[in-house]
Each structure stands twice: as C-alpha cells, then as structure tokens.
Amino acid sequence: MTRRRLAVVALLGAVAAGCGTVFNLPANRPITAESPRLDAADSAVISGDVAVALSFSGGGTRAAAFAHGVLTALDRMPGKGGRSNLDRVVFVSGVSGGSVAAAYFGLKGRDALTDFREKFLERNAEESLDTQISVANLVRGLEGGVNDSTRLPAWLDRQLFHGATIADLYRPNRPLVWINASDLYNRTPFHFSPSTFTALCSDITTYPLSHAVAASAAVPVAFAPIVLESFPNSCEAPLPSWVNRVLKSSTAGSQVRAFAQALTRYRDPGQLRYVKLADGGLVDNFGLTGIVITREIVDKPYAPLTPERAVKLRRVLFVVVNAGRGPSGDWGRKLEGPSGRELFGAVTDTAIDAAASSSFDAFRLTMSQWEAATRKWRCGLSAAEAQKLGAGPGWRCADVTFDIAEIAFSQLGDRAAILNAVPTRLKLERDEVDLVVNAGIEATMAHPVVRQSLGVR
C-alpha cells in the first residue's frame, strides 16, 4: 500500500473515531385522550360530478416545478360554470420533491400558485445543507447521513410552512393530502396519515409538516433518516380489524400484507421502537401504493368514496405527474463506461423506476376494478335508493368512469431530452424552472384524457 493510501486510511480512521452514528431525534408525540381526531371525510368536499386526484412524483425541485406547471394548467383550463378546475381536486399524493408541491397546495389551495415559484422553485434549498465533498462528509454519510433534521426541515418551515402541522392539511374544503416516505426497516411505504400515526399511538395533529416533507425527500446518505417513535403504551385502541384479516388471508396481496406486518411491529416494542424514514421514491416514486392498499382493505365496493359521492360522480380523473428521468449519457453507445458516478446513478434509477413501474401497474388494475365494482353497485340500487343518495333526473347507473392520465416529459417530443438533463437537485437556475413549469403546463393542457374528463374542447 502506498504512503498516500496509508495517509487516507489513517485520516478516515481518525475522523471516524471522533464521530458517532449520525441520527435524528423523534419529533412526534404520544397520543393522549385530548388529542384531536382527524377525519378525511371532514375536509375534502366533492362538488359536482367530476373529481380530480393527483400524484406528484419525486425528482427534487424539478419534480416540484413540473407539478406546479400541472396545477397551473388545471387552473387555466376552463372549468364548469367558470370555476377553477383546482376546485375539483379532492386528493393529492406527493413523493420527495413532489411532496413539497403537494403539501403547499394542500395548505394554501389555489393561492399556492401565486408565490410557490418565489418561495421555493427559485430558491436554493441546498443553502441549508452541507453538500461539500470532503472526508468528514464521507464519514458522516457512512455513519448515517451527512445532513440531520436540523437543516432541511427548518429551511422548509421558514420558507413555506411557518409552523404548520399535519392537522393544517385537514381544514374544511381542502383536498386530502398524503405525504409519502419509505419505512426503511419494514421496506414499505409510509403515509403521513391518521391511520398510520394511530398505529404508532402517536398524535399526528402536532407533527410538523416540514418534517413530513423532509422525510419524503430524505435521500439516503445525503440525509440521515427522519425518526418517529412508537408509543404502544399510550393507547389502548387495537389495530384495525383488517390487519388481522390480511395477515390470516392466503390471498392478500404482497403490498398490503407487508403494510399490515409493519403496523403490527409498530405496536410491538420487542420488534420496533423507532421508525426510520427516507425518500419515498425508494419504494414508490409515484405515491400510488397507498391507493392500492386502501382499496384492498375496504369492505364496500365504492370505498373509500362515500355512497353519496359514489352515486353523484360521473367521472374520476387521476392525474399521475411523472417527473422521472429517462435514460441519459452516451455510455450505451460505446464499449467503455459507465463511470463510477454514472453507474451509481444508473443503479439508483433502475431500482426506483422498477418499483414505480410495478406500483403503476398495480394502480391501473386497482382503478379498473374499482370502476367496475362501483358501477355494479350503482346498478344494483333501486330508483328510490339512488334518489335518496342524491341521484338527479336522468341519472344513469352505468355512467361512471375512472380515468388515468400520465403527464410526463415524453409527451413533449424532442424537448424530453432537454428536460431529462435538468438536474434532480434541490436548486435550479431560473431558466430551468421556466422550462420545467412550462412543460407541465403544455403537457397537461394538451393531454386528451385530461381534456375529455374535464369537458374541455
């Protein structure tokens, strides 16, 4: 071994000896008898016969900018009675960079369009982070993560959320918002939802929104995992009955079974006391798995819709906003390569894309089955039952459609390569922001399924 290598090894050893494992302290609290209960049915309101749901993929500020473009397009497209199509949005799921846009829209509604660019897209979120390539950071990365929870959550709270908690997403007349992270120990999606926090016996109403978004965007090594504590001794309520039903079933899907096992471990301090969360894109970069799981555990053909909503709706439009990166680099055209950096990126993208593709396939099947089950249930109602649930004159039981529209760079022809070259970091140049936002606007306004579902000619 050369002297230079010996010196590097010695330096790494010295730095490592002076450092312990990097970890974050939990920011969640135990549930109490006084803790408010959140109910999604009390917040999102479906008015009219069209409901829109959105999922925003991961991909740093680029993903947030693309999502912002989609929201802008929906607002600009003519809505029924002169209303904004954003008023039709009842559900938003966000992952990583997409979770920033999802959370801010959930918090502010249409007003989010006025200042999201100024407060986030054109700001450098990395100014709060340690991004230097150094021996010390290498060791911190190996010890758990370069940046702890004193950095990005504080920056997000200062710039966007101003002390907001998850409870602020459940105000009346707001869409239901899911922030998605990855539970590293259980290898499952983690949804910042009341049901998940109830399994932890934790009070979700006090949990900072900035921490949830930071967990969704916590790329391993660059960030130490965000930590939640389980408090099994602070609540007496049992886990939902579906958990045991799924665990005993021989036909339950692998995703819902893994999720049920995770909830069981949350209540068993012998197996798990702390939940370690990282970037949601590790298990599902589209944030769709929660829909698949929800549909598998419900016991009504139309659920999670209420019977009244299932009768009144004619169309459900689910827009999947995909800011993922396509193949890049020239090493596929020559014998040598990829380089170490390119190889690391390709391996990461391969794993994320494979998981996202699987979740999308499962989601498509779920939506098709949900549509068929809802239509069958509607057509089994008597005229009196349908009227009692809100059916109006001329109502037809079979007139209900669940549509899926994927908004992606690939729709934009030759510009897709330029968009793919925009980095997936937490800072962009102003011209890059303009490029991606405008791409989201154009791709949405031109999408035939979006136009048809919203009645735009």
Write out pLDDT tens, residues 41-96. Answer: 555 566 689 999 999 999 999 999 999 999 999 999 988 777 889 999 999 999 99
Instruction: Give me the phi and psi of 354, to 5 degrees please.
Output: -65, -45
Residues β-bridged to residue 91: 53, 176
Tokens of 308: 């009244």
Interatomic CA distance for residues 428 and 195, integer angstroms: 36
Provide the whole-model pTM. 0.91
CATH number for the domain formed by residue range(s) 57-328+353-454: 3.40.1090
Which pLDDT score is estimated for 335?
Answer: 83
**Residue-wise DSSP of 233-258:** GG--PPPPHHHHHHHH-SS--HHHHH
Q: Are 68 and 116 in contact (CB under 8 A)?
A: yes
| 307-356 tens-digit pLDDT | 999 999 999 999 999 998 777 777 888 888 788 777 777 787 888 888 88
Interatomic CA distance for residues 208 and 69, integer angstroms: 26
Q: Are 60 and 324 in contact (CB under 8 A)?
A: no
358 belongs to the catalytic site:
no
Catalytic residue among 96, 210, 216, 359: 96
Catalytic residue among 183, 203, 279, 284: 279
279 belongs to the catalytic site:
yes
Which pLDDT score is estimated for 15?
Answer: 46
Which pLDDT score is estimated for 318?
Answer: 98
Peptide bond into 225 cis (omega under 30): no
pLDDT band at residue 11 using 50, 70 and 90 as cut-offs: very low
Chain centroid offset of residue 31 CA: 24
With 80 as the cut, is the pLDDT of residue 290 above it?
Answer: yes
When mean pLDDT is compared across 152-166, 349-363, 370-384, the lowest value belongs to: 349-363
Interatomic CA distance for residues 68 and 89, integer angstroms: 14
With 70 as the cut, is the pLDDT of residue 40 above it?
Answer: no
As to burial, measured by CB atoms within 10 angstroms (0-12 exposed, 13-18 middle, 19+ buried), residue 131 is middle
With 70 as the cut, is the pLDDT of residue 12 above it?
Answer: no
Residue 55: strand, helix, or coil: strand
Domain boundaries, the chain: 57-328+353-454
| 185-210 tens-digit pLDDT | 999 999 999 999 999 999 999 999 99
Which pLDDT score is estimated for 18?
Answer: 47
Which pLDDT score is estimated for 55?
Answer: 98
In 10 A of CB 439, how many CB atoms? 26
Question: How many CA atoms lie within 13 Å of 159's alpha carbon, on the beta-carbon side?
Answer: 26
